[in-house]
């Protein structure tokens, strides 16, 4: 449980991640008077229901961070670049959801269950990983305790909420339009997303991988403190509202049995194994959405390599993939004495 004396700013409170952060704070009955909701000038004055009251959104400006102990920034990389240093200057710990600082060597990139100790060297800003990286890093950390990981291939099945609240509305609209026989007009993606699958998340780089795929490679290595792991991702957008899924093949330096993998994953904090394929029991977005856990199933020996293992992951991208991980970073920072209330 976090320290309820901390004054918290939620920058991006009107967005997909910000809304879940407020839900999670409400679940903890975090006092409304300790929460400052911020967004762009467009949303200033907007009221957000919270417990038995309402929070009024203010425009995020440098001065709005006066008196803030912890600033969660869930807006865009540009907003983070502009506002995070201002919040730090005013004494806040910034926990940033975006990509702006993730690969900065002065910024810890943290999944508390994996590398919480990295919080000890923060200089004011802590980043959370991309929502596809977090569940992969947790699964590899669990398995890597017994057997070092050499190589990973992963295909993602990413929900539209990973793009933000506007993409969720667009999926709804497109599905309605297509079912009614009306044409669709893609805005958030280069193609229609309803009843479709897009093998593109983010822009393509010269090497043929996308920005999202590079994030998975670089961030996983940084979190695991292992620059040697070979990782080849293919990131795919699917018409699912919430929860990213991943099909993962891991190659170790020695064989690992299904039983050992199941035990390691089951014992790892934050992971729940859901794996009874004969009964058609495995992780799915419809079951994982709204849950805090990383769900892993379809655990099996990889038929293509003697040291290989295959598995399937599902994780709510807005909770453990974003807002929950951010709140857990605050809890871990409090526990380690890396943050103290300013008043
Ligand atoms: N969605 C995910 O699954 C996920 C997972 C991990 C990390 N992230 C990261 O989290 C961040 C937010 O994502 P999201 O999905 O919540 O996006 P979103 O639904 O599009 O929400 C964006 C939020 O940013 C606010 N904003 C825009 N311009 C601003 C400004 N100049 N100053 C202050 N606030 C501003 C918006 O406020 P207005 O309503 O006023 O425009 C809105 O509240 C992104 O950096 C994303 O990469 C997202």
Q: Is 244 a catalytic residue?
A: yes
From 75, 160, 242, the mutation candidate for ligand 1 (largest count of ligand atoms within 8 A of CB) is 75
**Domains, the chain, with CATH or none:** 8-128+322-335 (3.40.50.720), 133-317 (3.30.360.10)
If DSSP codes are grouped into helix, strand and coil, which group holds residue 328?
Answer: helix
- Which mutation among 74, 111, 235, 328 tests ligand 1's pocket best, with the greatest number of atoms within 8 A of CB? 74
Q: Which residues line ligand 1 (CB under 6 A)?
A: 11-18, 38-40, 42-43, 60, 74-76, 79, 97-98, 131, 161-162, 164-166, 317-318, 321-322
3-state secondary structure (DSSP) of residue 18: helix
Tell me which of 122, 214, 235, 244 is the catalytic residue.
244
Give residue 21 CA to ligand 1 midpoint distance, Å. 12
Low-confidence ranges of the chain (pLDDT < 70): 1-3, 340-343
Catalytic residue among 122, 131, 315, 338, which?
131
103/109 Cα distance (integer angstroms)? 8
Residues forming a β-bridge with 230:
151
In the reported structure, the alpha carbon of residue 95 is separated from the centroid of ligand 1 by a whole-number distance in angstroms of 14
Query: Rounded to an integer, what distance in angstroms lies between the CA atom of residue 28 and that of residue 26?
Result: 5
pLDDT tens digits for range 204-253: 999 999 999 999 999 999 999 999 999 999 999 999 999 999 999 999 99
Q: Is 287 helix (H, G, I), strand (E, B) or coil?
A: helix
| pLDDT, position 272 | 98
262 alpha carbon – ligand 1 mean position (Å): 36
Q: Name the closest-CA residue to atom 29, ligand 1.
A: 40
Q: Strand 70-73 and strand 8-11: pairing?
A: parallel
Residue 339: predicted pLDDT: 84
Q: Ligand 1 mean position to 40 CA, how many Å?
A: 10
- Tell me the sheet residues that pair with 315: 244, 294
pLDDT value of residue 1: 46
CB distance 170 to 247 below 8 Å: no
Sign of CA dihedral 181, 187, 192, 195: negative
């Amino acid at each position: 449980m976090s320290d309820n004396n901390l004054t918290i700013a939620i920058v991006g409170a009107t967005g997909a991640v910000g809304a879940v952060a407020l839900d999670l704070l409400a679940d903890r009955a975090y006092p409304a008077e300790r929460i400052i909701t911020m967004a762009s000038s467009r949303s200033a004055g907007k009221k957000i229901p919270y417990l038995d009251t309402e929070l009024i959104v203010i425009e995020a400006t440098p001065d709005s961070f006066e008196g803030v102990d912890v600033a969660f920034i869930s807006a865009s990389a540009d907003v983070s670049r502009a506002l995070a240093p201002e919040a730090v200057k005013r004494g806040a710990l910034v926990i940033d959801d975006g990509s702006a600082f993730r690969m900065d060597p002065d910024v810890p990139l943290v999944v508390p269950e994996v590398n919480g100790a990295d919080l000890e060297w923060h200089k004011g800003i802590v980043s959370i990983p991309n929502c596809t990286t977090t569940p992969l890093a947790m699964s590899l950390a669990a398995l890597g305790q017994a057997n070092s990981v050499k190589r990973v291939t992963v295909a993602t099945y990413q929900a539209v909420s990973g793009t933000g609240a506007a993409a969720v509305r667009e999926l709804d609209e497109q599905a309605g339009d297509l079912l009614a026989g009306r044409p669709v007009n893609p805005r958030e993606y280069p193609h229609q997303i309803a009843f479709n699958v897009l093998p593109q998340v983010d822009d393509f780089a010269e090497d043929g991988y996308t920005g999202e795929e590079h994030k998975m490679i670089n961030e996983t290595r940084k979190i695991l403190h292992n620059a040697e792991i070979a990782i080849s991702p293919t990131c795919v957008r699917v018409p699912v509202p919430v929860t990213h899924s991943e099909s993962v093949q891991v190659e170790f330096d020695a064989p690992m049995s299904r039983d050992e993998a199941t035990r390691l994953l089951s014992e790892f904090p934050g992971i729940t194994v859901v794996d009874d394929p004969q009964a058609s029991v495995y992780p799915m977005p419809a079951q994982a959405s709204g849950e805090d856990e990383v769900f892993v199933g379809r655990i099996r020996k990889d038929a293509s390599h003697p040291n290989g293992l295959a598995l399937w992951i599902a994780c709510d991208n807005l909770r453990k993939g974003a807002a929950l991980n951010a709140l857990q970073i605050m809890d871990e920072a409090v526990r380690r004495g890396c943050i103290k209330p300013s008043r």
